Amino acid sequence: MTEINLANLMSPVAPTWCPGCGNFSILTALKQALIELKLNMEDVVIVFGIGCSGNTADFIKCYGLHGLHGRGMANAIGIKLANHRQKVIMIGGDGDVYGEGLNHLVAACRGNHDVTAVVFNNHRYSLTTGQSSPTSNKGTISKSTPQGLIEDPIGVLSIAVSNGAGFVARAYAGKLKQMVEMIKAGILYEGFSLIDVQQPCPTFNKEQDYAWYQQNVFDLPVDYDPSNQGQALMTLLDKDKLGLGILYQNNARKAYHDEIPQLSEKTLIEQFPKEINLSKAISEFI
């Protein structure tokens, strides 16, 4: 086993993100969380989607998979069901997870699959030069909406809370320590955890810059009760003021794999018939 530490997570490829991009601090928080949890490299699989966030795949050394646009969650669920002893993390952006992959996100919520999704939410499709995304504000001027976006932003965290996700949190890329704690709590939670990270994109989202976030985020009050689903939904109805912290946590619901009797003693991969040559079977599909 190889312990997770900064040296072992270090990729030979340096991040190519724009100066000032919120992704830098999210990557730092992810690494810090993994180190503080004292996991081994072999215990963790990270699935990356497509987008500026998905490019994180090049900037961290780990076991993982760089999936298709919007399909990272399906990959993550499959990996978890194959070996439910591993911690599975899915990294994607708002366009990837809340747009292209929304159906897979809802499936992850409904099943309470034990996957931690860290969503870099910059309110744009930034890798493809800043088109409006499902979380863009009404009126947003972008290359895809030159006369202003007509739709309202999607209330995706409300969808998660009301469709079975066991853990829903919101963090902000400008608050590193809190982000680390949110990611750690999500990884430790046994069930589906969604951590929406509000991420400034200085290149394609000039409206929601660091100054805007300073005005529009707030820490959830100390008496906030994350087990109260109704309170979480009421808090999420306010799409302008963004509460940071664990919005909802359901400790009573089992994770998907814990509901499958066939997985109670061994993982699926441990039960794979030895007489089948897996490498040969895979090569036939390639």
- Kindly list the residues in this chain that would bind ligand SF4 in the complex (CB under 6 A): 17-18, 21, 23, 52, 122, 126, 201-204
Beta carbon nearer to ligand SF4, 144 or 228:
144
Sign of the torsion angle spanned by Cα atoms 188, 190, 237, 148: positive
CB of 120 to ligand SF4, least distance (A): 7
Query: What distance, in Å, lies between the first and last C-alpha atoms of the chain?
Result: 30
Beta carbon nearer to ligand SF4, 56 or 112:
56
Instruction: Measure the CA angle with vertex 219, ends 218 and 221; round to 5°.
Output: 120
Torsion, Cα 169 109 107 66, to 10 degrees, reads 40
Q: Which two tokens stand for residue 183?
A: 């990611």
Question: Which residues 6+ apart lie within 8 Å of 24 measured at CB?
Answer: 15, 17
CB of 20 to ligand SF4, least distance (A): 7
Sign of the torsion angle spanned by Cα atoms 50, 55, 58, 64: negative
Beta carbon nearer to ligand SF4, 7 or 14:
14
Beta carbon nearer to ligand SF4, 18 or 263:
18
CB of 50 to ligand SF4, least distance (A): 12
73/70 Cα distance (integer angstroms): 7
CB of 122 to ligand SF4, least distance (A): 5
CB of 27 to ligand SF4, least distance (A): 11
Beta carbon nearer to ligand SF4, 72 or 243:
72
Beta carbon nearer to ligand SF4, 23 or 116:
23
- Per DSSP, the chain holds a count of helices (H) and strands (E) of 9, 10
Pairing state between β 242-249 and 217-219: parallel
CB of 103 to ligand SF4, least distance (A): 24
